[in-house]
């Protein structure tokens, strides 16, 4: 292994750690003081970095607060590619979304707090929906790869991916409205069942 690979890997790890810390601090401040009352400068100060350092990692405070959500789309797409080849698209999409709901199961109290914060804050809610919609091309691409279909993915695969993401959104809304009392996996299964081919 060369020294260049080691340095790059270390740099990437350090960068990811700084991003995670800025995101954590942003969420804590939003929850404590209210989203509208927190500035980029506040997040940078509490995290112990300069404003310019913050802006190297995130364009906006919304992006910082939603940073944990950001990588889930690519992880879901990877999980989709890894599903058994003979599994139908709809089942594969449902199983791949287990990656997206995992954090809600690991720490439901923290997940519920963050989900409520996002839903109750129009700027965060809009940005979160935009980020989730951004998962669509990767999911459609993963479906096409599973079928060995030439690019771009056909419309039908994009429609399936969009429907799966809508099922996830509705399931999360129901789960949040229940105060985290509903079983999120069961709610997501029910949402998918409503659109399953008869």
pLDDT-derived band at 4 (thresholds 50, 70, 90) equals: very low
Tell me if 169 sits within 8 A of 132, measured CB to CB: yes
Tell me if 180 sits within 8 A of 108, measured CB to CB: yes
Question: Alpha-carbon distance 114 to 133, whole Å?
Answer: 19
Q: Is 190 exposed, middle or buried (0-12, 13-18, 19+ CB in 10 A)?
A: middle
pLDDT tens-digit map of 60-100:
999 998 887 777 888 999 999 999 999 999 999 999 999 99
Tell whether the model's pLDDT for residue 10 goes beyond 90.
no
Residue 172 has, within 13 A of its CA and on its CB side, a CA count of 26
pLDDT of residue 70: 73
Distance of CA 175 to the CA centre of its chain: 16
Place domain 3-61 in its CATH homologous superfamily: Homeodomain-like (1.10.10.60)
Retrieve residue 46's tokens. 């509490």
**Region 67-194: CATH code:** 1.10.357.10
Retrieve residue 94's tokens. 């449902």
Q: pTM to 2 decimals?
A: 0.83
Domain ranges of the chain: 3-61, 67-194
Tell me if 142 sits within 8 A of 171, measured CB to CB: no
Tell me if 66 sits within 8 A of 131, measured CB to CB: yes
Residue 82 has, within 13 A of its CA and on its CB side, a CA count of 11
Tell whether the model's pLDDT for residue 1 goes beyond 80.
no
pLDDT of residue 197: 67
pLDDT-derived band at 51 (thresholds 50, 70, 90) equals: very high
Contacts with 19 (C-beta within 8 Å, 6 or more apart), sequence order? 57, 58, 67
Question: Alpha-carbon distance 118 to 138, whole Å?
Answer: 24
Tell whether the model's pLDDT for residue 2 goes beyond 60.
no
Average pLDDT over the chain reads 90
Question: Alpha-carbon distance 26 to 42, whole Å?
Answer: 9
The domains spanning 3-61 and 67-194 adopt the same CATH topology: no
pLDDT of residue 7: 55
pLDDT-derived band at 20 (thresholds 50, 70, 90) equals: confident
pLDDT tens-digit map of 112-152:
988 999 899 999 999 888 888 889 999 999 999 998 888 78
pLDDT of residue 5: 45
Residue 37 has, within 13 A of its CA and on its CB side, a CA count of 7
């Amino acid at each position: 292994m060369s020294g260049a690979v080691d340095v790059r890997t270390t740099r990437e790890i350090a960068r990811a750690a700084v991003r995670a810390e800025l995101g954590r601090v942003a969420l804590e401040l939003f929850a404590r003081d209210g989203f509208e009352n927190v500035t980029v400068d506040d997040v940078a100060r509490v995290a112990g970095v300069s404003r310019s350092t913050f802006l190297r990692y995130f364009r906006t405070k919304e992006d910082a607060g939603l940073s944990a959500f950001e990588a889930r789309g690519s992880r879901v797409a990877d999980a989709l590619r890894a599903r058994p080849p003979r599994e139908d698209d709809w089942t594969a999409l449902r199983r791949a979304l287990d990656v997206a709901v995992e954090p809600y199961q690991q720490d439901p109290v923290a997940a519920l707090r963050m989900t409520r914060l996002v839903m109750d804050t129009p700027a965060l809610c809009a940005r979160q929906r935009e980020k989730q919609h951004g998962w669509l091309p990767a999911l459609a691409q993963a479906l096409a790869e599973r079928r060995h279909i030439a690019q771009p993915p056909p419309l039908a695969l994009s429609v399936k991916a969009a429907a799966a993401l809508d099922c996830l959104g509705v399931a999360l809304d129901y789960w949040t409205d229940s105060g985290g009392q509903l079983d999120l996996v069961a709610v997501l299964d029910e949402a998918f069942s409503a659109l399953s081919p008869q």
